């Protein structure tokens, strides 16, 4: 008989699973608020309708589930056979009927959750490979999915904002993004400051002589850093304002 509860007892992992499940529920809520006709509308992502976002999030759950299956069985199953197939899948998914599109999201989310729930405690440490080629423990699949559901719920463009995303999720997202900039050296002369925090969060090229400093609340900085607009941010250089704030370096 299959257990009805998570096999892992690791508190950090269980907390992560909770954020992923909350994010999935949040995405579902924003999706369910949209009428079938509204699915044809634009998302926040250039060139993508809301249909593309829903298809992408559905296929992402399937791809993440393939990594969890890999960790469970030891049989290598990549997220996607190729980048081309990943793109084709999204374009195809966007043409599905509204009911099929909604089912894709629901069923893929349930399937992924079952794979997580039934993964034996030890197998969470098994190594799998992300679409970017990073080798990570299966535990990482939880964060990979968490990021997707929360941020793409905002991309549905029907009222969700980065303020709706739990602060620990946004903070980790910012660490990911600024870490990627740093690794690529694309954050030269750029400092990012999160204001309104008990202790200020500062990222970027903090050793630069006269950096452009972009400041804002956690939500505003995350929105800007993910390339989703400059609302709520201010920028300055050598004591003078820079308007508007420069676009953030590419994230993905």
Closer Cβ to Zn ion, 66 or 193, answer by number:
66
Q: How far is the CB of 105 from Zn ion (least distance, A)?
A: 13
Smallest separation, CB 2 to Zn ion (Å)? 30
Residue 208 to residue 4: CA distance in whole angstroms: 53
Closer Cβ to Zn ion, 42 or 122, answer by number = 42
Site string for Zn ion, 99-138 (x = CB under 5 A): ----------------------------------------
What does each C-alpha distance from 36 to 44, 79, 135, 236 come to in angstroms?
18, 29, 39, 44
Alpha carbon dihedral 210, 215, 218, 220, in 10-degree steps, equals -130
Closest CB 45 distance from Zn ion, rounded Å: 9
- If the CB atoms of residues 212 and 223 are measured against Zn ion, the closer one turns out to be 223
Nearer to Zn ion, 1 or 252 (CB): 252
Handedness of CA 187, 250, 161, 167 (dihedral sign): negative
Give the rounded distance of the alpha carbon of 66 from its chain centre: 18
- Give the C-alpha distances (Å, rounded to integers) separating 140 from 15, 50, 67, 235: 13, 27, 10, 34
Distance of CA 57 to the CA centre of its chain: 10
- Using CB under 5 A as the binding criterion, the count of chain residues that bind Zn ion stands at 1
Q: Tell me the closest approach of the beta carbon of residue 221 to Zn ion, in angstroms.
A: 20
Contact mark string toward Zn ion, 135..174, x via CB under 5 A: -------------x--------------------------
User: What is the distance between the alpha carbons of residues 252 and 245, in angstroms, rounded to a whole number?
Assistant: 20
Residues that bind Zn ion (CB under 5 A): 148
């Amino acid at each position: 008989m299959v257990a009805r509860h998570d096999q892992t007892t690791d508190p950090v992992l269980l907390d992560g699973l909770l954020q992923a499940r909350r994010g999935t529920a949040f995405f579902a809520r924003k999706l369910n608020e949209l009428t079938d006709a509204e699915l044809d509308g634009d998302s926040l992502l250039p060139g993508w309708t809301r249909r593309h976002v829903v298809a992408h999030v559905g296929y992402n759950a399937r791809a993440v589930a393939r990594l969890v299956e890999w960790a469970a069985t030891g049989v290598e199953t990549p997220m996607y056979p190729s980048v081309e197939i990943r793109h084709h899948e999204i374009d195809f998914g966007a043409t599905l009927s509204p009911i099929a599109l909604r089912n894709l999201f629901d069923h893929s989310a349930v399937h992924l959750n079952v794979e997580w729930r039934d993964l034996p405690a030890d197998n969470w440490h098994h190594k799998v490979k992300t679409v970017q080629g990073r080798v990570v423990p299966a535990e990482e699949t939880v964060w990979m999915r968490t990021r997707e559901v929360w941020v793409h719920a905002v991309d549905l463009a029907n009222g969700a904002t980065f303020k709706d995303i739990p602060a620990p999720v946004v903070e980790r997202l910012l660490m990911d993004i600024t870490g990627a900039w740093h690794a690529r050296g694309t954050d030269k002369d750029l400092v990012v400051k999160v204001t309104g925090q008990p202790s200020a969060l500062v990222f970027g090229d903090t050793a630069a002589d006269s950096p452009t400093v972009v400041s804002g609340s956690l939500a505003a900085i995350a929105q800007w850093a993910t390339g989703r607009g400059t609302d709520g941010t201010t920028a300055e250089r050598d004591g003078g304002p820079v308007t508007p704030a420069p676009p953030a370096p590419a994230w993905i």
